[in-house]
Amino acid sequence: MKKIITSPDAPAAIGPYSQAVEANNTLYISGQLPINPSVGKIESNNITEQTEQVFKNIAAILSAAGYTFANVVKSTVFLTDIAHFADMNEVYKKYYVSECPARSAFAVKDLPMGALVEIETIAVKK
C-alpha cells in the first residue's frame, strides 16, 4: 500500500506528481528543485545556495514522513553544468558524513524554472 507524503515546508509539486510516496518502508522523494516554499520561486543563481535549498526541501519531506538523512540509500543529482559538481558536492557532504548513500550525477540540458540543480532521493526505514 502506498502513502502520499507532503510537507508545507517543501515546495508544492509543479505538475501531476507527489512530493513523495512511501511504500513498504521505502520513501521515494520526487526531484527537488531549489524553490523556496515560502515564496514559491528560486531565489538564487548560485549553485551552492541552490543546493542548500534543495537539501532544506529534502529534509522537510524526510521529516514529514518520519525519516532522516541517515535513512537515505540513493540520490540522483541532475546538474545543468557538470562544472558545478564540486560546489554541489561541498554542500552534499554536509548532509552525508558517514555511510553515504549510493549516488549518480548527470549533466542535463535544462531543469524546470531555470534551476541549476535537482536531486531525487530514496530512503528506507531500518
pLDDT of residue 12: 92
* Residue 41: CATH number of its domain: 3.30.1330.40
The count of structural domains within the chain is 1
pLDDT of residue 40: 94
The single residue listed with the C-alpha cell 522537510 is 60
- Say yes or no to pLDDT of 24 above 90: yes
pLDDT of residue 56: 98
- Say yes or no to pLDDT of 8 above 80: yes
CA distances from 101 to 18, 69, 70, 96 (A): 22, 9, 9, 8
Angle at 10 (CA atoms; ends 37, 7), nearest 5 degrees: 130
Give the chain's mean pLDDT.
97
- Say yes or no to pLDDT of 126 above 90: no
> Are the C-beta atoms of 56 and 7 separated by less than 8 Å?
no
Domain that holds residue 118: 2-124
Q: What average pLDDT score do residues 79-107 get? A: 97
Q: What average pLDDT score do residues 5-23 get? A: 95
> Are the C-beta atoms of 31 and 12 separated by less than 8 Å?
no
Sign of torsion, CA 72 74 8 32? Answer: positive
Q: What's the rounded Cα separation, in Å, for the pair 42 and 103?
A: 24
Does 49 or 126 have the greater pLDDT score? 49
